[in-house]
Amino acid sequence: MSVLCSRQIRLKTRPAGIPAADHFELVECDMPAPGIGEILCKTLYLSLDPYMRGQISGRHISGTIDPGDLMRGETVSEVVVSNSPDFEAGELVCHYGGWQTYSLTTAEGVSRVDARLRPASLALGIMGMPGLTAYAGLFYLAEVKPRDVVLVSAASGAVGSLVGQMAKIQGCRVIGIAGSEEKCAWLRQVAGFDGCINYKTQPLSDALRQECPDGVDVYFDNVGGAILDAAMDQLAIGARVVLCGLMAQYNTDNVLPGPTPATIIRSRATVRGLVVYDHFDKQQEFLDRVLPWLEAGKIKYREDVSCGLAQAPAAFARLMQGRNFGKTIIKVA
Amino acid sequence: MSVLCSRQIRLKTRPAGIPAADHFELVECDMPAPGIGEILCKTLYLSLDPYMRGQISGRHISGTIDPGDLMRGETVSEVVVSNSPDFEAGELVCHYGGWQTYSLTTAEGVSRVDARLRPASLALGIMGMPGLTAYAGLFYLAEVKPRDVVLVSAASGAVGSLVGQMAKIQGCRVIGIAGSEEKCAWLRQVAGFDGCINYKTQPLSDALRQECPDGVDVYFDNVGGAILDAAMDQLAIGARVVLCGLMAQYNTDNVLPGPTPATIIRSRATVRGLVVYDHFDKQQEFLDRVLPWLEAGKIKYREDVSCGLAQAPAAFARLMQGRNFGKTIIKVA
For residue B4, the model assigns a pLDDT of 65
Average pLDDT over residues B109-120: 94
Q: Are B299 and B275 in contact (CB under 8 A)?
A: no
Segment among A159-168, A176-185, B60-69, B96-105 with least mean pLDDT: B60-69
For residue B220, the model assigns a pLDDT of 98
For residue B2, the model assigns a pLDDT of 42
Chain B residues within an 8 Å CB radius of A244: 265
Percent of chain B residues past pLDDT 90, beyond the cut: 88
Q: Please tell me the total number of residues recorded for chain B in this structure.
A: 333
**CB-based contact, A221 to chain B, within 8 Å:** yes
pLDDT band at A32 (very low <50, low <70, confident <90, very high): confident
pLDDT above 70 for B3:
no
Using DSSP's 3-state secondary structure scheme, residue A276 falls into: helix
Q: State whether the Cα torsion A83-A88-A92-A95 is positive or negative.
A: negative
Residue of B nearest to A62 (CA): B266
pLDDT tens digits for range A285-332: 999 999 999 999 999 999 999 999 999 999 999 999 989 999 999 999
pLDDT above 70 for A2:
no
Planar angle of CA B206, B209, B211, nearest 5 degrees: 105
* CA distance, residue B295 to nearest chain A CA (Å): 32
Which region holds residue B43: left if phi is over 0, alpha if psi is between -120 and 50, else beta?
A: beta
**CB-based contact, B270 to chain A, within 8 Å:** yes
pLDDT tens digits for range A268-297: 999 999 999 999 999 999 999 999 999 999
For residue B170, the model assigns a pLDDT of 98
Chain A residues within an 8 Å CB radius of B273: 261, 264-269
pLDDT tens digits for range A146-190: 999 999 999 999 999 999 999 999 999 999 999 999 999 999 999
Other C-beta atoms within 10 Å of B162: how many? 30
Chain A residues within an 8 Å CB radius of B274: 265, 268
CA distance A162 to A248: 21
Counted across chains A and B, CB pairs separated by less than 8 A come out at 97
Average pLDDT over residues B197-223: 97
pLDDT above 70 for B139:
yes
pLDDT tens digits for range B172-193: 999 999 999 999 999 999 999 9
Using CB atoms within 10 Å of the CB of residue B246, give its burial: 0 to 12 exposed, 13 to 18 middle, 19+ buried: buried
Average pLDDT over residues A120-149: 97
Chain B residues within an 8 Å CB radius of A266: 61, 273, 275
CA distance A94 to A113: 6
Question: Which of B276, B147, B255 has the alpha carbon at shortest distance from A257?
Answer: B255
> What is the DSSP track for A95-133?
E---SBSEEEE-STT-EEPPTT-SSGGGGGTTTSHHHHH
For residue A1, the model assigns a pLDDT of 40
**CB-based contact, A255 to chain B, within 8 Å:** yes
CA distance B94 to B111: 5
